[in-house]
Amino acid sequence: MTSTPYLSLSIWVPIIAGLLVLALGSGNRAPLARALALAGSIAGFLVTIPLYTGFDPALATMQFSEYASWIPAFHVNYHLGIDGISLWFVLLNSFMTILVVLAGWEVIEDRPAQYLAAFLIMSGLINGVFASLDAILFYVFFEAMLIPMFIIIGVWGGPRRVYAALKFFLYTLLGSLLMLAAFIYMFLKAGNSFEILGFHALQMPLHVQELIFVALFMSFAVKVPMWPVHTWLPDAHVEAPTGGSVILAAITLKIGAYGFLRFNLPIAPDAAHALAPVMITLSLIAVVYIGLVALVQSDMKKLVAYSSISHMGFVTLGFFVFNPLGIEGGLLQMISHGFVSGAMFLCIGVLYDRMHSRRIADYGGVANTMPKFAAFFMLFAMANAGLPGTSGFIGEFLVTLGALQANFWYAFLAATTLIFGAAYTLWMYKRVVFGDIANASVRALTDIGMREFAFLAILAACVLAMGIYPKPFTEPMHASVNKLIQQTMLKKI
């Protein structure tokens, strides 16, 4: 334990930076707030880089562990650690935070310090969620994260922001409270310990496992979100400011899927097998039905929001076919979706900042006035549709293969997303970007500036890199995924 506590740093650097922004940047010192926030987010990302470089891909155990007693009266410990599953999300989250800070640079004029601080604090809390190995610590981060998000949506969001923010909060809270009850139950079963890895080893009869599974499912399914508890997402996305949408889509949705891998599958494997048909059905409904719903949206953000739900259906499908292809495919899909959906929301944000409209019908012929932007948007739209060579393809392909091993019809239905995904994304792209210039305000558009170019280019590089050479992304996962598969195959009754 003499090594540098990188995980703690990845949690606390952004939080402290956020508090500094709040303390120093309020009032009319917005430039200082922005500079501080950017520095804080970059520092927050830099401290996570050693997590990747120092990560040993051969090990399936938790690495970079930190352990300290926190609340002995409750047997709660400050226990952190990451494996090949959580590693990527810590990195992704810290990385996206920089982009979010950049995206809100000049756009947010109302209390920018509070806005930026909320994102930084949330970034640290989200890292805490992914790195926690103690259930209460996990819960604390999981819940605390809701507060900044609630405020981000509610203060800087669109016209129906208050409704969306409340809906988001209450949906999520409903799930997490049941999860808390399950945690306490397992705490008592495990002999007064909140260690998540200890929960993995608990022997429980099937009906108990099923109840625990359902309680955890309620929490994570809302986060993912799975059909039919997805309805908060389109509202939250549409009303959230661009940065909020990016973090919601790129990171917080991943927490739900991560929760399935960290909690549901290893803690209640028998229940997971017993309930897998239900989970697969829900996932496929999300993939197919929500894909169709996305097709008819007239609001760009709503379209991408529904597309997110559909993509996340793919992820959960991959998890519940219980083979390495499915789970790794799901994980890759999550990372890719982080980049792609983040980029899509940023693109829509670029348009919205200029036109103050998200309606597809208000656009047309944007390519004529914003050629550079159109090129980037094209790439991301293709990635969203799962074109080979982009990151979107890898995950979808692996999940489909994994599903094929389980059942032909799962794979068949899942593969329809390649058609629907292409249909809704490219149709939207066509209506917005191609064609003649639709109206005077489109004619007046200016192409992206340096700042916008920077964040779109970085994301484009990520999307292509992951699509062309995914090995660096998959390598650290293998050991952990194999261990997880073993755990799910174990009978614990």
Partner 1 sequence: MTSYLSLLAPAAPEIVLLALVSIVLVADLFIDDSRRMTTYFLSQLTLLITLLVLVAAPHGGPVYTFHNMYVDDTLGRALKGLVLVAVSLVFAYSKTYAEQRDMLKGELFTLMLFSTLGMMVLISANHFLTLYLGLELLALCQYALVAMQRDSARASEAAMKYFVLGALASGLLLYGMSMIYGATGGQLGLQAVAQALAAPGVDHGLAAVGTVFIVAGLAFKLGVVPFHMWIPDVYEGAPTVMTLFVGTAPKIAGVAFFVRMLGEGLAPLSHDWQQMLVIMAVLSMALGNITAIAQTNIKRMLAYSTISHMGFVLLGILAASQQGYAAATYYSVAYTLMGLAAFGMILLLSRAGFEAENLDDFKGLNRRSPWFAFVMLLVMISMAGIPPSVGFFAKLSVLRAALDAGFTWLVVVAVLLSLVGAFYYLRVIKLMYMDEPVDQAPIEGDLDLRVLLSLNGLAVLLFGVLPQPLLALFDHAIVQSLR
Binding residues (CB under 8 A) for partner 1: these are: 26, 70-74, 114, 136, 139-140, 143-144, 146-147, 150-151, 154-155, 161-162, 165-166, 169-170, 173-174, 177-178, 180-181, 184-185, 187-188
Q: What angle do CA 266, 273, 286 make, to 5 degrees?
A: 95
Give 3-state DSSP helix, strand, coil % of the chain, rounded to 5: 75, 5, 20
Helix (H) or strand (E) segment spanning residue 81: strand 76-82
Nearer to partner 1, 189 or 273 (CB): 189
Rounded Cα–Cα distance for residues 205 and 145 (Å): 33
The least CB distance from residue 212 to partner 1, in Å, is 12
Nearer to partner 1, 118 or 327 (CB): 118
Is the separation of the CB atoms in 149 and 122 below 8 Å? yes
Nearer to partner 1, 116 or 379 (CB): 116
Rounded Cα–Cα distance for residues 473 and 255 (Å): 18
Nearer to partner 1, 73 or 440 (CB): 73
Nearer to partner 1, 77 or 94 (CB): 77
132 in helix, strand or coil? strand
The least CB distance from residue 373 to partner 1, in Å, is 32
The least CB distance from residue 160 to partner 1, in Å, is 11
Nearer to partner 1, 94 or 114 (CB): 114
Structure tokens at 97: 């935070």
Rounded Cα–Cα distance for residues 94 and 92 (Å): 6
Q: Strand (E) positions, 413-488?
A: none
The least CB distance from residue 74 to partner 1, in Å, is 7
User: CB within 8 A of 27, min separation 6: which ones?
Assistant: 113
Nearer to partner 1, 169 or 377 (CB): 169
Displacement of CA 310 from its chain's centroid (Å): 14
Identify which of 95, 109, 116 has the alpha carbon closest to the alpha carbon of residue 15: 116
The least CB distance from residue 403 to partner 1, in Å, is 35
User: CB within 8 A of 177, min separation 6: which ones?
Assistant: none
The least CB distance from residue 176 to partner 1, in Å, is 9
Rounded Cα–Cα distance for residues 218 and 222 (Å): 6
The least CB distance from residue 119 to partner 1, in Å, is 15
